[in-house]
Chains A and B, each alone.
Chain A
Amino acid sequence: MDDASIIELFRKREENAITELKRKYDRLCRYVAGNILGGREDIEECLNTAYFEVWNNIPPEIPADLRTYLCRIVRNIAIKRLQYNTAGKRDARAAVPIDEIADCVPACADDEVDEDMLAEAISRFLRAQDEKHRMVFVRRYWYGDPLSDIAQQYGMKEKTVATYLFRTRKKLKAFLKKEGYDHE
Chain B
Amino acid sequence: MNELKFMEIIGKIDESLVKEADRAVLRSAEQDIFGNADSVSGVEGYRRSRWSRTAAAAAVFLVIAGAGLGGAALLKRHGAPSADSIEEGETVTVSPASAAEEKTEQAVTEIVSEKKETAEAVSDVSERETMNAEDMEEAASGTDLSSESSETGNVSQETSEPAEEKINTTEAAEPVTSNAIQHEIATKAETPTADNERAQMFARIESLDYIPITCDGLPDYKLISDDGKVYWLNIDGRWIWKNGIDAEAVLPEDIALWLLDNEGSINMQKTRYYRDAHGEQDMDENDGEQPATWIYRRD
Q: Which of B1-16 contact A (CB under 8 A)?
A: 1-15
Contact: B7 with A122, CB < 8 Å? no
Shortest Cβ distance from residue B119 to the other chain A in the assembled complex, whole angstroms: 106
Interface of A is mostly: helix
Instruction: Kindly state the interface size class of chain B when it binds its partner.
Output: 20 to 34
Shortest Cβ distance from residue A101 to the other chain B in the assembled complex, whole angstroms: 6
Q: Does B292 reach chain A (CB closer than 8 Å)?
A: no
Given the complex, which residues of A lie within 8 Å of B18, measured CB to CB? 68, 71-72, 138, 142
> Which A residues contact B (CB, under 8 angstroms)?
64-65, 67-68, 71-72, 75-76, 79-80, 82-83, 86, 96, 98-99, 101-102, 104-110, 113, 115-116, 118-120, 122-123, 126-127, 131, 134-135, 138-139, 141-143, 145, 152-154
Interface of B is mostly: helix
Given the complex, which residues of B lie within 8 Å of A82, measured CB to CB? 4
Given the complex, which residues of A lie within 8 Å of B9, measured CB to CB? 113, 115, 118-119, 122
Contact: B1 with A96, CB < 8 Å? no
Given the complex, which residues of A lie within 8 Å of B3, measured CB to CB? 98-99, 101-102, 105
Minimal Cβ-Cβ distance residue in A for B18: A68
Of B20-28, B35-43, B58-66, the segment with at least 4 beta carbons within 8 Å of chain A is B20-28
> Which B residues contact A (CB, under 8 angstroms)?
1-15, 17-22, 24-25, 28-29
Given the complex, which residues of A lie within 8 Å of B13, measured CB to CB? 119, 122-123, 126, 138, 142
Given the complex, which residues of B lie within 8 Å of A80, measured CB to CB? 8
Q: How many Å lie between the Cα of A135 and that of B26 in the bound state?
A: 13
Q: How many Å lie between the Cα of A76 and that of B18 in the bound state?
A: 14
